[in-house]
Amino acid sequence: MKKTAGLLVAFSCILAAQAQRQGDPKLSEYYEPVPPVVTPGKTSADAPSDAIVLFSGKDFSSWKADRGTDIKWTIADGAMTVTGGTGGITTKEGFGDCQLHIEWRTPAVVKGDGQGRGNSGIFLMGKYELQVLDNYNNKTYVNGQAGSIYKQLVPLVNACRPPGEWQTYDVIFTAPRFYENGILKSPARVTVFQNGILVQNNRELWGGTEYIGSPEYKKHGDKEPISLQDHGNPVSYRNIWIRPM
């Protein structure tokens, strides 16, 4: 009996779908809610109209020093540069799910090798490091090269430009969710384009970045600031903007 009823339901659904296809096309068109109009920048690197500009080349007004002093990094020619040994910098505002555009440049004068060459990093939510490194003919562990989520996710390709050239990251980040009791509800996810080339495709993060040991999730807020790393090398950044989602 049950089987017959099930078949009847399935059959009437098919009939209804067929009837709809033969009927009014307007039945499958809707007009609300309307996606807001966003004016694109002149190039895709320019901040669109609804972006929060975190660095436009002029000042550190959106940033604070991790060591609680004045920021000791320098600004010249529209770019900020790490002053090694003075500590990282962090946005004043917190962000969760977002689209982030950031441009970076490792030093033209090559010094050091492996992780010691043009190392910095973008810590999403202050915890999940998207590695910045000069990996142009520079060997290191692959889960620590440019485009990696440090010590977690190896990039699909090495999309590095030569040292001294500007490079871009376009990141789509979904923040992790936690239950009240701190247990992970859903992990963070990330998609990254380096210089327009897909290097991370909607990958799941394993937890916060750890230098030693396995990554681990620890409950944090829905919105947390973004940090840029001082790893001792004079890496530069410019044109940083974000679209919270």
Enter the tokens of residue 70.
Answer: 């004045």
Shortest distance (Å) from residue 50 CB to Mg ion: 30
Number of residues that bind Mg ion (CB under 5 A): 4
Nearer to Mg ion, 47 or 119 (CB): 119
CA dihedral 188, 148, 105, 228 (to 10 degrees): 40
Sign, CA dihedral 7-12-13-18, equals positive
Closest CB 118 distance from Mg ion, rounded Å: 10
Of 6-14, 49-57, 115-123, 186-194, the window that binds Mg ion (rule: CB under 5 A) is 115-123
- What's the min distance (Å) between Cβ of 160 and Mg ion? 14
Q: How far is the CB of 72 from Mg ion (least distance, A)?
A: 18
Closest residue by beta carbon to Mg ion: 121
Q: Of 147 and 176, which has the nearer Cβ to Mg ion?
A: 147
* Distances from the Cα of 14 to the Cα of 2, 9, 26, angstroms: 19, 9, 19
- Binding of residue 121 to Mg ion (CB under 5 A): yes
Beta strands 74-76 and 167-174 are unpaired
User: Minimal CA–CA distance to 229: which of 213, 211, 216?
Assistant: 211
- Identify which range of 17-25, 55-63, 111-119, 219-227 contacts Mg ion by CB under 5 A: 111-119
CA nearest 171: which of 144, 201, 145, 151?
201
Q: Which is nearer to Mg ion, 51 or 149 (CB)?
A: 149
**Residue 126 touching Mg ion (CB under 5 A):** no
Stretch that binds Mg ion, among 78-86, 184-192, 209-217, 226-234 (CB under 5 A): 226-234
Q: Using CB under 5 A, which of the segments 52-60, 173-181, 227-235, 237-245 binds Mg ion? A: 227-235
Q: For residue 241, what is the enclosing H or E element?
A: strand 236-244
Least Å distance, CB 243 to Mg ion, is 24
Long-range contacts (CB closer than 8 Å, 24 or more residues apart) made by 77-80: 78/238, 78/239, 79/105, 79/236, 79/237, 79/238, 80/55, 80/236, 80/237, 80/238
Contact residues: Mg ion, CB under 5 A = 119, 121, 229, 231
